[in-house]
Structure 1
Amino acid sequence: MSDFLTGLAFFLIIEGLIYALAPHVVVMMAKLLPSIPEQQLRLSGLIAMGIGVFLVWIIRF
């Protein structure tokens, strides 16, 4: 449970940094999202998730 909470904390830190350091980039990306096909968004999310799982697996072993 401790690892999960640590991961969640790091996620919130990174998200906060993005909004604090580059809010204009976040707004610009939010405006672009409707023009990106749903299938491409889904594939990008699955790839990011896979990379994350792989990195956790590498770090833990």
Structure 2
Amino acid sequence: MNPTIWMALGLVLVLEGLGPMLFPTVWRKMIGSLATLPDRLLRRFGGGLVVAGCVIYYMLRSKMGA
């Protein structure tokens, strides 16, 4: 697998870990409120994140000339 993808995955894990590490109370409240949202809204939110990630990946890939 491409090393760039592993680096990106590592960065995502670092960023995801900062929330509960630095702000555990706020993070717990946010997760609790997300758990109460309807499935439809969570799917839309997840879909938006996937689209944003694909757009960022495409933009960076085209800038790097790959």
TM-score by length of 2: 0.82
Unaligned runs of 5+ in 2: none
Q: How many angstroms apart in 1 are the aligned matches of 2:24 and 2:40?
A: 26
Match of 1:50 in 2: 51
Which 5+ residue runs of structure 1 have no aligned equivalent?
Answer: none
- The CA deviation string for residues 19-60 of structure 1, in whole angstroms up to 9 with x for no partner, is 111111210012112321100000100011101100110111
Correspondence 1:6 to 2:7: yes
Question: TM-score w.r.t. structure 1 length?
Answer: 0.88
Identity rate, percent: 26
The residue identity in structure 2 corresponding to 1:26 is W
Give the number of aligned pairs: 61
Q: Distance in 1 between matches of 2:58 and 2:47?
A: 16
Q: What is the CA RMSD across the aligned residues, in angstroms? A: 1.0
